[in-house]
Copies of this chain bind each other. A is one copy, B any other.
Amino acid sequence: MAKRKSIRSDIGWSTATTITVKGFDLCKDILGKLSLGDMAFLELTDRLPNAQESPVFNAIAVTLVEHGITPSSIAARMTYAGAPEAMQAAVGAGLAGLGSVFVGSMETAARMLQEAIPDPKAAVNIDGMAQKIVEQWLSAKKIIPGIGHPYHKPVDPRAPRLFEIAAQNGFNGPYIQLMQAIAREAEKRSGKQLPVNATGAIGAISSELALEWRFVRGIGVFARAIGLVGHLREEAKNPIAWEAKMRIDEEATAHQRGK
């Protein structure tokens, strides 16, 4: 095969007696020492989290594991109902819908913050920046990511709890401050209560952890994979997919059958 460019990966490799992941010996340096969440941090950053980063990162990942009955968990359950021999494909189907509508908003929040503050060590006028950002989003008639919630009112309880965990570990930098300032500014301009929601908190805290906004969605993707396995386990014990299908079908086509 003609080579145009080299093919290179630095994630993992093996010899007959060793396995290396991101430069660490799996058996000596990782197993028994790293928790699953810390391993995920390593995958997203190429380094181990320190004692402050670990609980904060785990908290945002844990927040994203389980959202109950969602379009994603219904898709996984429906898929499992047809192919119980391929649980992995049911999880895959459930993940496929974690796009722009739900999980995408935390990527958008992280992007908004990281593009506004490329260098978190530089001095910034947080309130002035928030005014400018809110103005930009409103004049573009786009919904500002990370604030307000259609259901959790007046406050999405996850956001203050996540900010609390972050602060307890020393994270209260410019991204968190900017996210909160954006919420205040949006509330002032709209006259509505629009506190930072879980999405905004995760976008801001991810940015404090120096996670690239392009892969913040990835936290939601792998966290939800955990939750989807839980849903398939429940579906296997107490199935709901077929009954839900029957009811949807019946109502959706009743007008035709009634003819």
B-contacting residues of A (Cβ < 8 Å)? 1-22, 26-27, 30-32, 34-37, 39-40, 43-44, 55, 58-59, 61-63, 65-72, 74-76, 78-103, 151-153, 155, 157-158, 161-162, 164-165, 168, 212, 214-215, 217-223, 225-234, 236, 238, 240-253, 255-257
- A231: B residues at CB distance < 8 A: 9, 11
CA of A59 to CA of B37, assembled, Å: 11
| C-alpha spacing A69/B152, complex, angstroms | 32
Q: How far is the CB of A219 from chain B (nearest CB, A)?
A: 8
Question: Of B1, B99, B221, which one neighbours A229 at CB under 8 angstroms?
Answer: B221
Within the assembled complex, what's the spacing in Å between the Cα atoms of A246 and B32?
30
What's the Cα separation between A225 and B76 when bound, in Å?
Answer: 15
Q: Are B96's CB and A157's CB within 8 A?
A: no
Known: A17-B152, A65-B39. A1 touches B251 (CB 8 A): yes
Q: Contacts A7-B244, A70-B245 known; list 11 others, CB within 8 Å.
A: A1-B247, A8-B255, A31-B59, A35-B36, A36-B37, A43-B233, A81-B97, A86-B96, A87-B221, A95-B225, A244-B248
Interface of A is mostly: helix
B residues less than 8 Å from A19 (CB atoms): 152, 157-158
Q: How many copies does the complex hold?
A: 4
CB distance from A103 to the nearest CB of B (A): 7
State A55–B222 Cα separation when bound (angstroms).
20
Complex CA gap A17/B94 in Å reads 27
Is B86 a contact partner of A89 (Cβ separation < 8 A)?
Answer: yes
Contact A20 B88 (CB under 8 A): no
- Give the contacting residue for A69; candidates B18, B103, B215, B253; CB below 8 A: B253
Q: What chain B residues lie within 8 Å of A253 (beta carbons)?
A: 9, 12-13, 68-69
Chain B residues contacting A22 (CB-CB under 8 Å) are: 66
Distance between Cα atoms of A96 and B245 in the complex (Å): 16
Separation in Å of the A119 CB from the closest CB of chain B? Answer: 20
Q: Is the CB of B63 within 8 A of A31?
A: yes
Contact between A101 and B82 (Cβ–Cβ < 8 Å)? yes
Residues of B near A221 (CB, < 8 A) are: 87-88, 91, 225, 229
Task: Give the complex CA separation of A94 and B97 in angstroms.
Answer: 11
